[in-house]
Structure 1
Amino acid sequence: MPIDDFNDLADLLHKAGKVAAEIFASAAETEKLGRPAPAAVAALQQSGLLALTAPRSSGGLEAGLGLQARVALELGKGCPSVGWVASLSNAAKAMVGPMLGPTAQVALFEDPQAIACASGVGTGKAVREDNGDLRISGRWRMASGCDVATWASLVVSVLDESGRPVEAGIVLTRVKDLEIDRSWRSAGLQGTGSYALVAEDILVHSAFSVVGPVGHQGPPPAVVSLGAIIAHLAPMVGAALGQVEAARNLFSGDRVPSRTTYARLVESPLARDYFARAERMVRAAERDTLAVADALDSLGPGQEPSAELRSTWRMDLVSAAGSCRSAMEYLLDLHGAAGFDPQEPLQRVWRDVAVGTRYVGLNPYIAAEDHARVLLNAGPAVSTL
């Protein structure tokens, strides 16, 4: 279904909202399992939202960043971990798919609902066979969703006979051909199953690799580097939005501030102020995230923003991440110690947002350093992103 008008978009987001309600029901199970619960995966697959960035010829929507971000926002309201896995899967397909040749593209999108994971964090090495195929070995960390994924996109260095890296790039391989090291632990986003993938002398057909000489890749295009940040951030913004809406119910009910003379929470002017601050912060984060996504979509083929604009967009996303964290603190203050009850969704989402908004691309002090350098022409960026 092409997203050609507002009605199509509204229908898709309504569907995403229904899926959010379904994955919310299994959010506690997702965290306990350390991966998206079976019911959550089934809900995503039945909705078609895992095919968001697949080619239309394969039954997908070829969605741009704006649509990807809006769907991820909705899913994040239901379960940040499941929204994270779905968002990164769609992003991986969007970024890796166009780079591959026809053979690999057909395989990747044979099942447009298949989940894809990716990792560039690790020690992936490859050696080239005489026929051009690659044999890969290594350990790639933080492959979110690998437990439920069919495909893995992995960054590798191709070594010559002396062990010197001469090429670098990505390989696409089936997760079933790899081992999963489930040693990963985290205070938040536990349900993403961001475990390590391990390969020992695995053969990858040349059609499933995209590599080039070391040092000739250059910086990633803005749509790639900023698109990756948006894919990680959007579910977290959605998670914070979901908790703002949940907190609104506190004011319509009969909740009483403990040990006060108030009969209801809504009677407290500062409680109302805390809620309004949290709501404004998260709405601003939503606006900034979607604005950057839409701006990237508006770029023409091969068009790159200026260094200053690119840095400004990154700072907008970093600011959005910080606003979400601050908003969650206000919401916890409104709940008090009860918000940390293990059965209370707020404490789980608080942990998820705290971890997810610290994705490497959202590193606030590095982003700020680079922004000052760009604004003052004071030297090259320190970030490889």
Structure 2
Amino acid sequence: MARRAFQGRRHHMTKTARYTSEAAEALVARARAAVPVLAAHAGVTDQQGRVASESLEVLREAGLFALGTPVEFGGTDVDLVTQVQVLSELGRGCPSSAWLVTISAGTKDHFSRLFPKEVLAEVYAQPDVRWCGGATPGEAVAAPGGSRVSGRWAYASGAEDAHWALLSVVSVRDDGVPQVGGALVPMSELAIDRTWRVAGFQGTGSHTVVANNVFVPAERMIQLPRGLGGAPDVTLGEPLSIVSQSVAVAGVLAGAARGALDVVEAVVGTRKPPISPYDSLAESASARHVFATAEHMVTSGYDRLVSLAGRIADQAPGEEVTDVQRSALRMELVSVLQQFQRAVDLLLDLHGSSAFALDNPLQRFWRDLNVGARHAQLSTYLTTENHGLLVTGAGGPLLMG
């Protein structure tokens, strides 16, 4: 079956002319400079199930929570390549901290356009405002001047440190047809049920947000546009928006793999292999082979991810993207993530069982990578099933966005 490959142009800075390559490089440098603070407090972040206050502050000072904020309100608007580079640097220090940056930025960037200017002016009184979100629909009941919202939204990453929550809701129109939309609610009006007890990404505090008959003014309620067949268009008319968000999320996981590589690289010349004549891993030809293989997998995987981000960022406004092309991008993304997972497994084999001591950051990078790689946007088996349907002509797209 013939199909046109998705090809981007060469220049990545296409999202906005206001953010120059020099400014993008400076943002990446600020992210890199924050890594020592994030790494120093990553253990505390993991243990307390919430990003350490010192880490939140260094991210704020670096302007990284302004990502996703509209530029007219002092935000930082960069292309997808720069996002991946920034998030990967942060992930080297603390994947949980990097996760909060990407989730807040992605939510703000995707949904801000749907709200009127007066709402945005209120919400973005400070450009480093943080959002969390919940995708499982709650209920919105019409009330004078707005709606009454109730429900529970699990996996709201960073809820305890967010200022606003964008909550998916379903309302019933006058004609009886359910309408999917969202409610933007101050966190001060919501409760948090601390349900996030998991093996990895513990520091993201992805708890359950709870609303009980909370009034939301009409101007802070949105409705999703409808796509083919009348289903909600979660892409908001931008075919690659959900794939782009998935690639940004993968930037954090690239950082986890790079952080794991950093840990082993620091000891490869001094760590003695158990029950062997070697004084260090570097003396063993087998250990050198394993390390070289893992190093290449991590670095080439990162290069692949940056290249993928560039091809997406280079899409011309209005350029047609077919379902097959979009699916192929998803397939490449999950392939990169699987490469990171295999590489970190090799690094654990090389380091040995002491890597699983709770004070060893290697096990935290491994846990965070493996939990994050199972995020709903990165489902390997559904991505593959979707691609199989499309390339064999057996059916239409399985995945929305």
TM over 0.5: yes
Residue 179 of structure 2: aligned partner = 167
In the alignment, the residues of structure 1 paired with residue 204 and residue 319 of structure 2 have an alpha-carbon distance, to the nearest angstrom, of 34
Structure number with the bigger relative contact order (C-alpha 8 A, sep ≥ 6) is 2
Helix, strand or coil at the partner of 1:295: helix
Deviations 1:295-331 (A, max 9, x none): 2222233434222211111011111111111111111
Q: Does the alignment pair 1:346 with 2:359?
A: no
What's the offset of the Cα at 1:165? 5.3
Q: Does the alignment pair 1:208 with 2:220?
A: yes
Residue 245 of structure 1: aligned partner = 262
Deviations 1:264-319 (A, max 9, x none): 21111221111122122222321232222222222233434222211111011111
| Further displaced range: 170-179 or 289-298 | 289-298
Helix, strand or coil at the partner of 2:141: strand
In the alignment, the residues of structure 1 paired with residue 70 and residue 234 of structure 2 have an alpha-carbon distance, to the nearest angstrom, of 26
Q: TM-score, normalised by structure 1?
A: 0.94
Residue 293 of structure 1: aligned partner = 309
Residue 11 of structure 1: aligned partner = 26
Counterpart amino acid of residue 240 in structure 1: A
Residue 125 of structure 1: aligned partner = 139
Q: TM-score, normalised by structure 2?
A: 0.90
Q: Does the alignment pair 1:155 with 2:152?
A: no
Q: Does the alignment pair 1:264 with 2:277?
A: no
What's the offset of the Cα at 1:3? 3.1
Give the 4+ runs in structure 1 shifted more than 6 A: none
Residue 299 of structure 2: aligned partner = 283
Percent sequence identity is 32
In the alignment, the residues of structure 2 paired with residue 245 and residue 359 of structure 1 have an alpha-carbon distance, to the nearest angstrom, of 24
Helix, strand or coil at the partner of 1:137: strand
Helix, strand or coil at the partner of 1:210: strand
Helix, strand or coil at the partner of 1:124: strand
What's the offset of the Cα at 1:19? 0.9
| Further displaced range: 295-304 or 37-46 | 295-304
Aligned pair partner of 1:65 in 74, 80, 83:
80
Residue 34 of structure 1: aligned partner = 49
| Further displaced range: 202-211 or 71-80 | 202-211
Contact 1:53 1:94 in 2 (8 A): yes
What's the offset of the Cα at 1:212? 4.8
User: How many residues are treated as equivalent by the alignment?
Assistant: 380
| Further displaced range: 25-34 or 271-280 | 271-280
Residue 328 of structure 1: aligned partner = 344
| Further displaced range: 183-192 or 10-19 | 10-19
Aligned pair partner of 1:187 in 176, 191, 199:
199
Residue 232 of structure 1: aligned partner = 249
**What are the within-5 Å matches in structure 2 for residues 88-103 of structure 1?**
88-103=103-118
- 1:216–1:365 CA distance, 2 compared to 1 (3 A): closer
Deviations 1:357-378 (A, max 9, x none): 1111211111111111111221
In the alignment, the residues of structure 2 paired with residue 271 and residue 222 of structure 1 have an alpha-carbon distance, to the nearest angstrom, of 45
What's the offset of the Cα at 1:143? 0.3
What's the offset of the Cα at 1:257? 0.6
Contact 1:239 1:349 in 2 (8 A): yes
What's the offset of the Cα at 1:192? 0.1
